[in-house]
Structure 1
């Protein structure tokens, strides 16, 4: 009889625990749903796929919107997304697999593996490439040379450009770094970059994982859109960064395959634990200011470590190892491309899942953004000042500038100008703020106001070459 009573009591406890867990999980799911639907609506995101992995289990995996607006194709488990620079995480893992096998070292000079490099490049190390501390000229910044040019032609062209800084001194995001990593992998392995990655990270892949940098050929991936402010509609992007860019931005992958990749990484199938620790260790920049790991951005949240990267202003991948949590966000466009909605999302969802990851300042940045995009300016401004009153030490200069540019490039010039005017009042000693305000006046043909603010910018930042050029241009226009 006693055993029967005990068993019944334990059953009640188990059922209550299960009910409580299910209720909690359902509430969490609803919070994420509500948040994502608001973000998707405000940013007018065509298609999205989101996953949350907690303690090795997928606790959230959902698909929203359209992979193709023209064909009315919904986003689902079969949808591949172009992840852009999130590809760099896969490349970093590939490099550390070679390190683990003793075939390469972070301290190795690039010239050990690649010949025909400019003399000034000889001392650049593998670690500099991964940490974006190489100082090499970035080929993406030169529009007068085709991205699809053969490798040696690109090196010849870039070799005529100056080194930006002494290798190791500082962080400067650079696509040339990954061009060289592609060639180093191919040199060491004797394989194409793509075959090496497939063999070592996606051995059982099908059509749900592939590399392609030519948008015109991406017929089996979610269409990448850009917002056209003239037609007020999305239009397909046509762009080709060339096959040598695959290590930097060429991966196309389904959410399901990326979830599996993450689980394999967590389970030490790609790298040993100690190797992952090395990969996620901050690079020691000479300037002692910048923070970045080897191929991964490292960003502590309330003293919890987090690692990841984002790509193309549309995808983000973020791991919180201390919390056994990973958040993946994939999309195919965002009307307000200059706002980091993709980064905001992964951090915000992290806080929904685990309250210890709530970052009040970052959440308020996002709330301020949402208000200026969604509400009328006066109400949004009132909210901004309410936040500032509570937290007078918080600085929102960069966020206000991003909001302004996003509005300006989304055909909301008047609202953008109001944001820049507010930012100038809030940060009267920032030359960058006056430069942005002057640009908005110029676009609205308010030339005298534009001139006045470019002068203010130049007074605060004498090295501002853009302000000097714009002042000449305005004087020419006013003289006509």
Structure 2
């Protein structure tokens, strides 16, 4: 492990914020039980110029799940639950077809149950009636299929066993206790007024960054409802790593990869397992903007909390890059290639092809999906940086290197269309159409070509 360059980490976070239009970030890095970096960046609330601070509360979204899963294993450790228990043992009003589902199926997203999230705007009773009537998707244990029904049911199981609501149970058993002023909060409704909570900002509705107030039914608290400060998360990490929440044996059991019978997936009981150049890590992310990852053998924890984004962003890749900046042996070559190509595209586009060729010819990067990386970079330049010519250069390289990819030509056509080069837009959209046999896609491209031909004719007049 090389000496930690805090300035490099700060520069990287600044780059990520700028590239992905992320308003505010709180970052903590814990190594060998010590906080080696803890910093807040940007704004918790843009319109009132309120910076992210140590008292800023972040909604964790689905990052709630590993904490709830840990709570389930606390009950297992005390003999109050078993992974093999049928869920119907604790929730007697389930449909008969759900009676074979076990606790382990909920934790590992292997239940095959229909997703209650489709009905999240309904109250719990109405949502339950509808999801109970939906068909089972597959036999329990066959494969990983992420849905919110699993942790909705886990919440009901925990509350039945403990005779406490989920907030009280998690607070008393993993944080500072119900009487503490630092009691954690569960709220799946971002419209709720919670003092010091960061305002969420996203670009999903309009394409431009704006205040966004996602909400779910409060019965989905265990799915995505936990709201805490970074200081609370750091304290939780310390207790988790030092056996003050669950034992090492329970942790090892929780982190066993589930043996799905019809597919391979590196998922455990509520946690993703990720291996980065031989370094095993466990963690999860939420809302595309929060993530926690622990590398047990490296005694390294990384906590990244943000309050929104306005562009392309992969929070798991960001965690990997932070880990790499700390220790160059923890290198995700896919992320490394992407970061190298992105930096070259932004700083000196004329070097892009030579940089690409060097990476592609290096055996270390043999598993990199260069087509995806170039496509993402092209759209960052096109939509976020408004550098259309540079984006065209990236898309041209992608089409040249992947001549059988309809998507590469489609993206190049889009860039030319934005640049009002209708001749080249038509040519590349036509090539994309010829490479894709999907009737719906072809119909879409035909309509697009009709519009572009009309625009080209009008331009010539």
Tell me the TM-score normalized by structure 2: 0.84
Mapping 1:133-172, distance limit 5 Å = 133-140=110-117, 142=118, 145=119, 147-172=120-145
Partner of residue 11, structure 2: 34
User: What per-residue deviation string (whole Å, max 9, x for no partner) do you get for residues 243-295 of structure 1?
Assistant: 11211111111111100000000111110110000011111111342211110
Partner of residue 282, structure 2: 307
Please give the secondary structure, in 1, of the residue aligned with 2:301. strand
For structure 2, the residue ranges without an aligned partner over 5 or more in a row are 455-461
Q: CA deviation at 1:352?
A: 2.6
The yes-or-no answer on 1:351 pairing with 2:330 is no
Go from structure 1 to structure 2 and tell me whether the alpha carbon gap of 1:111 and 1:191 turns closer, same or farther (over 3 Å shift).
same
Partner of residue 268, structure 1: 243
For structure 1, the residue ranges without an aligned partner over 5 or more in a row are 1-20, 459-463
Q: CA deviation at 1:368?
A: 2.5
Partner of residue 399, structure 1: 373
Mapping 1:284-323, distance limit 5 Å = 284-323=259-298
Partner of residue 224, structure 2: 249
Go from structure 1 to structure 2 and tell me whether the alpha carbon gap of 1:153 and 1:379 turns closer, same or farther (over 3 Å shift).
farther
Go from structure 1 to structure 2 and tell me whether the alpha carbon gap of 1:363 and 1:170 turns closer, same or farther (over 3 Å shift).
same
Tell me the TM-score normalized by structure 1: 0.81
* Alpha-carbon separation, structure 1, partners of 2:351 and 2:63: 36
User: What per-residue deviation string (whole Å, max 9, x for no partner) do you get for residues 160-208 of structure 1?
Assistant: 4333332222222212221111111112222111111111112344357
Mapping 1:139-218, distance limit 5 Å = 139-140=116-117, 142=118, 145=119, 147-204=120-177, 205-206=180-181, 209-218=184-193
Partner of residue 458, structure 2: none
Which shows bigger deviation, 121-130 or 65-74? Answer: 121-130
Partner of residue 197, structure 2: 221
Q: CA deviation at 1:136?
A: 2.1
The yes-or-no answer on 1:387 pairing with 2:359 is yes
The yes-or-no answer on 1:60 pairing with 2:34 is no
User: What per-residue deviation string (whole Å, max 9, x for no partner) do you get for residues 21-46 of structure 1?
Assistant: 9xx86x53233223223323333321
Please give the secondary structure, in 1, of the residue aligned with 2:5. helix
User: What per-residue deviation string (whole Å, max 9, x for no partner) do you get for residues 289-309 of structure 1?
Assistant: 221111010011222210001
* Alpha-carbon separation, structure 2, partners of 1:360 and 1:479: 43
- Is the Cα contact below 8 Å between 2:175 and 2:183 reproduced in 1? no
User: What per-residue deviation string (whole Å, max 9, x for no partner) do you get for residues 348-382 of structure 1?
Assistant: 2222323332334432223324444x347554454
Go from structure 1 to structure 2 and tell me whether the alpha carbon gap of 1:34 and 1:478 turns closer, same or farther (over 3 Å shift).
closer
* Alpha-carbon separation, structure 1, partners of 2:349 and 2:163: 58
Please give the secondary structure, in 2, of the residue aligned with 1:63. strand
* Alpha-carbon separation, structure 2, partners of 1:320 and 1:182: 28
Go from structure 1 to structure 2 and tell me whether the alpha carbon gap of 1:451 and 1:250 turns closer, same or farther (over 3 Å shift).
farther
User: What per-residue deviation string (whole Å, max 9, x for no partner) do you get for residues 127-164 of structure 1?
Assistant: 22221222222234x3xx4x132223222222343333
Which shows bigger deviation, 250-259 or 358-367? Answer: 358-367
The yes-or-no answer on 1:453 pairing with 2:426 is no
* Alpha-carbon separation, structure 2, partners of 1:382 and 1:195: 58
- Is the Cα contact below 8 Å between 2:124 and 2:217 reproduced in 1? no
Q: CA deviation at 1:125?
A: 2.1
Q: Which residue of the other structure, out of 80, 85, 88, is the alignment partner of 2:57?
A: 80
The root-mean-square deviation of aligned C-alpha atoms, in Å, is 3.4
- Is the Cα contact below 8 Å between 1:438 and 1:454 reproduced in 2? no
Go from structure 1 to structure 2 and tell me whether the alpha carbon gap of 1:298 and 1:331 turns closer, same or farther (over 3 Å shift).
same
- Is the Cα contact below 8 Å between 1:212 and 1:218 reproduced in 2? no
* Alpha-carbon separation, structure 2, partners of 1:243 and 1:186: 14
User: What per-residue deviation string (whole Å, max 9, x for no partner) do you get for residues 33-66 of structure 1?
Assistant: 2322332333332111111111111111111111
Q: Which residue of the other structure, out of 258, 261, 271, is the alignment partner of 2:233?
A: 258
Please give the secondary structure, in 2, of the residue aligned with 1:305. strand
Go from structure 1 to structure 2 and tell me whether the alpha carbon gap of 1:139 and 1:449 turns closer, same or farther (over 3 Å shift).
farther
Which shows bigger deviation, 311-320 or 356-365? Answer: 356-365
- Is the Cα contact below 8 Å between 1:401 and 1:436 reproduced in 2? yes
User: What per-residue deviation string (whole Å, max 9, x for no partner) do you get for residues 1-21 of structure 1?
Assistant: xxxxxxxxxxxxxxxxxxxx9
- Is the Cα contact below 8 Å between 2:410 and 2:428 reproduced in 1? no
Please give the secondary structure, in 1, of the residue aligned with 2:275. coil
* Alpha-carbon separation, structure 2, partners of 1:437 and 1:136: 40
Go from structure 1 to structure 2 and tell me whether the alpha carbon gap of 1:452 and 1:238 turns closer, same or farther (over 3 Å shift).
same
